[in-house]
Amino acid sequence: MDFQPSEQQVLVRDMARSFAEAELMPRATKLDRQGFIDPDIFEKMGELGLWGLTIPEDHGGAGMGNLELAIVLEEINRACASTGVTLSVHNSLLGSPIMQFGTQAQKDRWLPELASGKRIGAYCLTEPNAGSDAAAIATSAKLEGDEWVLNGTKIFVTNGAFAGLFVVYARTDTSVSKAKGISAFLVPKETPGLSIGKAEKKCGIRASSTTEVILENARIPKDALLGPLNAGFKVAMYTLDGGRIGIASQALGIGVAALEASIKYSREREQFGKPIGDFQAIQWKLADMSCQLEASRMLIHKAAWLRDRKENCTQAAAQAKLTASRAANYCADECLQIHGGAGYTDHFHVERLFRDARITEIYEGVSDVQRIVIARGLVPA
């Protein structure tokens, strides 16, 4: 067992950290307030190869693994969680299923554009009546000649406003159980009948795009099917394993930012004639935050390592996501408490961390769903 990062991992970590500190940290509060990410940030991410981090080199990507992606996502989210989730969804929820389930023609068609950032990806699973019960989706896909016709509405679609390619899950067989009659499709933005609905106004990650995606007789070619017919639920669950590692990495980055802000403030703020960091009450908060974050990092790296080895990582990904998201919220809460009244204002970025952390216990599967996944691995049915 080797805890020493490889030379490649150190290089990609340092690259991501330099980009985050130079381009994201100074602008994160501005992005949060304006409600969108400036296009030049996306361009710079493309120049650094971040959009294609896990896409093979023969399709224009960097050819790295999930562990490298987790390392990068920690650094990006340490600076700006809105940018972090945008990058995570693109790599883990769109690039990953195409690489795993796509035909050679689909890989040749879409991966180069995803790797360059020419097209940014989005994942369309959740519906008004299908959240944690993902198999309850009502969006339909019917084959008419050589085309699939899609109808339905997806909600909470990250990257929806500017995505160029969507993976859409739709019901293709109503005669079987819910999970067995779902298929996955690759749907480009220019598809007639696809439109972007309302944009959500959110508590946190405000600069990221979260929208409805509406499908009204949207017609796509027969070969837009991703993976086997009626096996889309398996595609979705495989994809979410990677997505959960990505969100766990996001949570870790937010938590690290909270710890760093707490340490800095505890050295600067004086009460009763000395820095508050000299008081045991503050020191113990910092110690607990550090332990929870380090434990989260180990779980994330283990889950990513398993996925890179093509081993089952479902339980490990759920453990990482559950632990890291709880740690992020704990650290953000304690960080705000350490800052006191000042932390509750917008004079510090602490309140943004507090808001951003909350979503990590909700998307890619709420914490209770993670507990269900973990328990099923411990006590199989």
Q: Report the C-alpha gap between 217 and 64 in whole angstroms.
A: 38
The SS3 call for residue 298 is: helix
Q: What amino acid is encoded at 354 in this protein?
A: F
Q: What amino acid is encoded at 365 in this protein?
A: G
Per the CB < 8 A criterion, the answer to whether 184 and 236 are in contact is yes
Q: Report the C-alpha gap between 79 and 29 in whole angstroms.
A: 10
List of E strands, 175-292:
182-188, 194-199, 210-221, 225-226, 270-271, 274-275
Annotated catalytic residue 144: no
Per the CB < 8 A criterion, the answer to whether 225 and 148 are in contact is yes
List of E strands, 84-133:
121-124
Burial environment of residue 250 by CB neighbours within 10 A (0 to 12, 13 to 18, 19 or more) = buried
235 CB-near residues (< 8 Å, 6+ apart): 97, 100, 101, 169, 184, 226, 227
Q: Which of 68, 127, 351, 364 is catalytic?
A: 364
Q: Give the dihedral sign, CA 337/342/344/346.
A: negative
- The token duo for 62 is 């960097």
CA dihedral (284, 287, 288, 290) in degrees, to 10, reads: 160
> Which residues are catalytically annotated?
364
